[in-house]
């Protein structure tokens, strides 16, 4: 198995490798989100590790998730789009969800850059970590599964009804 890291592979990969690498990235992201949640909680209690800790955590999440979403799209969309009849709809929903996440992350990152010491930023960071963790759990339960992301596209017998 090739080591994909965080870069999109130069060619299509098999479904099992795609799932494994998405899960590995999710595990790393969970660690990042856990650390960011601690920063948010400390800041909300008035004990931020540094003046720019919340803004830095938001920047780290923005960068990491942006790269991760691109990776997911590069490895999952080709597999989903080839899995008729449901795969293309799943691919469309994934792209829509990622667009929503990018929009939210970009807005929060701009806000953190413009006002890194704004007190409400810590509450937004706490929400962001919770929201992204919940989204990853849902994605792993409903999308990044052997039943959904697979290489053996099901052929429907259209003659038999």
Per-residue pLDDT tens digits of the chain, which is 161 residues long: 345 568 888 899 999 999 999 999 999 999 999 999 999 999 999 999 999 999 999 999 999 999 999 999 999 999 999 999 999 999 999 999 999 999 999 999 999 999 998 989 999 999 999 999 999 999 999 999 999 999 875 544 444 44
Contact 105, 62 (CB under 8 A): yes
Residues 6+ positions from 65 with CB-CB distance below 8 Å: 29, 101, 105, 132
Q: Say if residue 138 is exposed, middle or buried (CB neighbours under 10 Å; 0-12, 13-18, 19+).
A: exposed
Q: Which tokens hold the place of 35?
A: 């650390």
Q: Describe the crossing of helices 87-114 and 120-142 by its angle, rounded to 10 degrees.
A: 170
What is the pTM assigned to this prediction?
0.89
The pLDDT assigned to 4 comes to 52
């Amino acid at each position: 198995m090739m080591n994909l890291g965080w870069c999109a592979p130069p060619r299509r990969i098999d479904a099992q490798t795609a799932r494994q690498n998405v899960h590995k990235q999710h595990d790393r992201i969970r660690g990042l989100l856990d650390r960011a949640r601690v920063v948010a909680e400390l800041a909300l209690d008035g004990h931020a590790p540094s003046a720019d800790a919340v803004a830095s955590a938001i920047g780290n999440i923005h960068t990491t998730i942006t790269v991760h979403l691109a990776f997911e799209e590069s490895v999952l969309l080709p597999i989903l789009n080839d899995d008729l009849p449901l795969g293309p709809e799943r691919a469309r929903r994934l792209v829509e969800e990622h667009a929503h996440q990018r929009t939210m992350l970009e807005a929060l990152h701009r806000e953190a850059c413009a006002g890194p010491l704004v007190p409400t930023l810590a509450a937004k960071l706490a929400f962001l970590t919770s929201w992204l963790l919940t989204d990853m759990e849902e994605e792993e339960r409903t999308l990044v599964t052997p039943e959904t992301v697979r290489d053996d596209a099901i052929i429907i017998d259209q003659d038999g009804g």
